[in-house]
Copies of this chain bind each other. A is one copy, B any other.
Amino acid sequence: MSKQELVVLGQDDQSAGCCPGMLTAPLDEDQAADLAKIFKALGDPVRLRLLSLIASRAGGEVCVCDLTPAFELSQPTISHHLKLLRQAGLIDCERRGTWVYYWVLTDTLDQLSTFLTTTHKAEATA
């Protein structure tokens, strides 16, 4: 199964129209519940660093063996954080031989980015 197929399969529900920009209309309860789960997964420094490590890697994916050395944390702890990111739809992974490889799910990130985008940015510039 290709990486591309995984991205599309995993993101069908969320890319189907959930959560337009927050300036468009107030979120309803279901939209807010869905989005809050994802933001909650981002509300931890270790998970944010893991996500940015994965996202910034040239080639778009990274071996778990390259993630663990970047933290003074145990492998099970890192795995736990990666699992939460994955459950939130922010990353996905695939085992190849000994190692598991991770990549970001851009649809989810773009959905969050769209939700947070404001249009009166220029007015707030110092």
Taking CB atoms, residues of chain B closer than 8 Å to A32 are 45-46, 48-49, 52
Q: Which of A38-64 contact B (CB under 8 A)?
A: 39-49, 51-53, 55-56, 60
Quick one: closest B residue to A51, CB to CB?
B22
Quick one: closest B residue to A11, CB to CB?
B124
The answer to whether A79 has its CB under 8 Å from any CB of chain B is no
Q: Which of A71-126 contact B (CB under 8 A)?
A: 104-107, 109-110, 112-113, 116-118, 120-121, 123-124, 126
A118-B55 contact in complex given A40-B43, A45-B33, C-beta closer than 8 Å: yes
The answer to whether A27 has its CB under 8 Å from any CB of chain B is yes
Taking CB atoms, residues of chain B closer than 8 Å to A25 are 52, 56
Main secondary structure of the interface of A (DSSP, over half): helix
User: Distance (Å) between the CB of A24 and the closest chain B CB?
Assistant: 6
- List the interface of chain A (C-beta within 8 A of B): 4, 7-8, 11-12, 15, 22-27, 29, 32-33, 35-37, 39-49, 51-53, 55-56, 60, 70, 104-107, 109-110, 112-113, 116-118, 120-121, 123-124, 126
